[in-house]
Amino acid sequence: MNVRPAFLRLGVFLGVLVWLGLGICEEAVARAGGAGGSSPSENSSSRSSGSKSSGSSKSSGSSSYRSKSSGSYRSSGSSSYRSGGGGGYYGGSEPGWMMVVRWVMWGVPIGAALLLAAILIRRYWKAHKLDPVVRPRPPARVGREAFLAANPDFEPAVFVAKVRSAFMKIQKAWMAQDISHIRPFISDGMYQRFATQFRMMGLLKQRNVLDKIKVFGIHPITFRDDGAFDVIDVWIYAVMSDSFTCELDPSMNSEGNDPFVEYWSFIRKRGTVDSGFNLFAAKTCPSCGAELPQDMGELCRCSHCQVLVNSGEFDWVLAEITQEGDYGRTLLGARVPLDLPAAVAAIAPECPDFSQQLVEDKASNAFMQIMTAWATRNPASVRRFSTDEVFAGISELISSPPDIAFARIYLNEAVLLYVTRDAAQAKHRIDVGLSASMQRVELLPDGRFRPLDWEEKRSLFTLTMERDVDAVPEKGSLYQHQCATCGGRVGDTIDVTCQYCGSALNSTRNEWIVCGFRES
Ligand SMILES: [Zn+2]
Ligand SMILES: [Zn+2]
């Protein structure tokens, strides 16, 4: 049901209702005020002339109707009706059966109009739950007191304002399929998720228009620590109208406007002093003050002082968006062994920079690049961070038919599942579970596509990564096309030797390298 016709119909019925109501009153007034002298025929003629004039022209008709009836109704009419008029009406010479007929005559249309109005309001409300009466409530806060004690300068209202700003900007970026304006405050993993989705949407000529965005509540609920970072999970309750269109296959078009809850996770380096810098509105570098590049792309670096703007050292950074159904009730959660915290603690002395959120972010990043490589048939884009064996496997997957792409691809979860120390190879090895909702399509030679899945399907993957136990902190991020040894820029190439420093790009000396990838 469309909003406009619904409103129109509602308006018409309410109008009829008011008109009928006023008609009754007018008649009653006429009967009472005119000492029983007015006849039914006079009443009907005055009503019909009123309705005629209102029909001929909206402005003059309604004003003439109002000035006439309301004047008589309010000043003398109402008082006469209520005090003596009532007696005159009921105590008139009319027989009882006539009164019943009148009640039926007026009661039936008014009742019907009321009923129809109620049905329309109900249907409208059901179809457009824009402002539901029953709103979900955020869960109880966890860890807030300890966080506030450690961060006395933390101002919840300022933080919430940043989250709100991030929320609105991300909806806008999503609609425009343009990451540039949100790049400074999103993690590299988030960047890759958006980049992959936008790429797929571009490939299949899809657009997602969001409108009437309304945020009902933003509540920071969980304050936790993760390695060298603080993490705040924020409960967000909002609604928007959501129109998805696919030019290549209109059968995929959909509309929606159901309210939803999402959990947005923000990270910041522990001990960061709030300098008042706002990354969510930043146009300049937080370190040197130089203007930030318009479109930083996958590397969120100041071109002047080379600092990583989204490192979490300057402000909060959005690291994850989790749907309500996935938060705390994960598909992958059941796979996390109870001794995982102990295993993480065991490698900490050798691996002081280890952060669960960061390795999950790296794994998300690798996963999305693998999926992009698959859909664009370009295995070279995963070469630099894969072992030879994994690269061979992915290349084979990509070259075997059918030619697939993803009509929809959302990474629901990335969860660290396993941490171990391989003494024989002197490596730390981690498994990250990934849960993704995807709808696969087959790309046809004529540029069109054919769905392979009829709806979004949830698939689980496991990505295994390894790094030397005595790894040297990386100089650049391999997942952002930088050599981990020297920081030099690396393209999508199947040559794994850095052209600047000559070291192997997929070396486990500096960076977590993908050594296993499987659907599970
Ligand atoms: Zn700078
Ligand atoms: Zn290098």
- Min mean pLDDT across 46-50, 62-66, 482-486 is at 62-66
CA of 476 to the centre of ligand 1 (A): 16
CA of 315 to the centre of ligand 1 (A): 14
Radius of gyration of the chain (CA): 34
The confidence score (pLDDT) of residue 519 equals 93
| pLDDT tens digit sequence for 233-286 | 999 999 999 999 999 888 889 999 999 999 999 999 998 988 889 999 999 999
Question: Could you tell me the pLDDT band of residue 111, with boundaries at 50, 70 and 90?
Answer: confident
Cβ burial of 208 (10 Å; 0-12, 13-18, 19+) is middle
Q: Report the DSSP beta bridge partners of residue 489.
A: 482
CA of 116 to the centre of ligand 1 (A): 64
- Residue 44 scores a pLDDT above 80: no
The confidence score (pLDDT) of residue 43 equals 39
CA of 358 to the centre of ligand 2 (A): 22
CA of 362 to the centre of ligand 1 (A): 24
- What percentage of the chain has pLDDT greater than the value 70? 80
The confidence score (pLDDT) of residue 42 equals 37
CA distance 292 to 286: 9
Cβ burial of 362 (10 Å; 0-12, 13-18, 19+) is buried
- Min mean pLDDT across 100-109, 339-348, 430-439, 505-514 is at 100-109
The confidence score (pLDDT) of residue 45 equals 36
CA of 307 to the centre of ligand 1 (A): 6
Ligand positioned closest to the Cα atom of 506: 2
- Residue 167 scores a pLDDT above 50: yes
Instruction: Please indicate whether residue 297 or residue 164 has the higher confidence score (pLDDT).
Output: 164
CA of 309 to the centre of ligand 1 (A): 8
Distances (CA, A) of 75 to 27, 43, 62, 66, 71: 16, 19, 19, 13, 6
List the structure tokens of 249.
Answer: 């296959």
- Min mean pLDDT across 156-160, 225-229, 231-235, 419-423 is at 225-229
Ligand positioned closest to the Cα atom of 504: 2
Residue ranges and CATH numbers for the domains of the chain are 3-127 (no CATH), 130-329 (3.10.450), 335-520 (3.10.450.240)
The confidence score (pLDDT) of residue 188 equals 87
- Min mean pLDDT across 63-67, 250-254, 488-492 is at 63-67
Across all residues in the chain, what is the average pLDDT?
82
The confidence score (pLDDT) of residue 87 equals 33
CA of 254 to the centre of ligand 1 (A): 43
CA of 491 to the centre of ligand 2 (A): 12
Question: Could you tell me the pLDDT band of residue 314, with boundaries at 50, 70 and 90?
Answer: very high
- Residue 12 scores a pLDDT above 70: no
CA of 1 to the centre of ligand 1 (A): 52
The confidence score (pLDDT) of residue 496 equals 92
CA of 89 to the centre of ligand 2 (A): 99
The confidence score (pLDDT) of residue 46 equals 36
| pLDDT tens digit sequence for 453-470 | 988 899 999 999 999 999
Instruction: Please indicate whether residue 103 or residue 476 has the higher confidence score (pLDDT).
Output: 476
CA of 503 to the centre of ligand 2 (A): 6
Question: Could you tell me the pLDDT band of residue 58, with boundaries at 50, 70 and 90?
Answer: very low
CA of 507 to the centre of ligand 2 (A): 11
CA distance 202 to 133: 38
Polymer length of the chain: 520
Question: Could you tell me the pLDDT band of residue 31, with boundaries at 50, 70 and 90?
Answer: low
- Residue 303 scores a pLDDT above 70: yes
Ligand positioned closest to the Cα atom of 184: 1
């005119």: which residue's tokens?
Answer: 34
Ligand positioned closest to the Cα atom of 293: 1
Ligand positioned closest to the Cα atom of 509: 2
The confidence score (pLDDT) of residue 441 equals 92
CA of 475 to the centre of ligand 2 (A): 9
Ligand positioned closest to the Cα atom of 304: 1
Contacts for 501 with CB less than 8 Å, ≥ 6 apart: 483, 485, 486, 488
- Residue 78 scores a pLDDT above 60: no
The confidence score (pLDDT) of residue 520 equals 84
Ligand positioned closest to the Cα atom of 307: 1
- Residue 123 scores a pLDDT above 90: no
List the structure tokens of 178.
Answer: 């343009």
| pLDDT tens digit sequence for 191-221 | 988 999 999 999 889 999 999 999 999 999 9
Ligand positioned closest to the Cα atom of 497: 2
Contacts for 200 with CB less than 8 Å, ≥ 6 apart: 206, 372, 375, 405, 406, 407, 408, 409
CA of 285 to the centre of ligand 1 (A): 5
The confidence score (pLDDT) of residue 8 equals 56
- Contact assessment for residue 443 and residue 503, using Cβ atoms and an 8 Å cutoff: no
CA of 508 to the centre of ligand 1 (A): 29
- Rounded mean pLDDT of 5-22? 58
List the structure tokens of 266.
Answer: 């923000």
Q: Which residues surround ligand 1, an ion (CB under 5 A)?
A: 285, 287-288, 290, 302, 304-305
CA of 365 to the centre of ligand 2 (A): 21
For residue 511, the SS3 value is coil
- Min mean pLDDT across 107-116, 207-216, 350-359, 418-427 is at 107-116
CA distance 210 to 176: 10
Question: Could you tell me the pLDDT band of residue 333, with boundaries at 50, 70 and 90?
Answer: confident
- Residue 486 scores a pLDDT above 80: yes
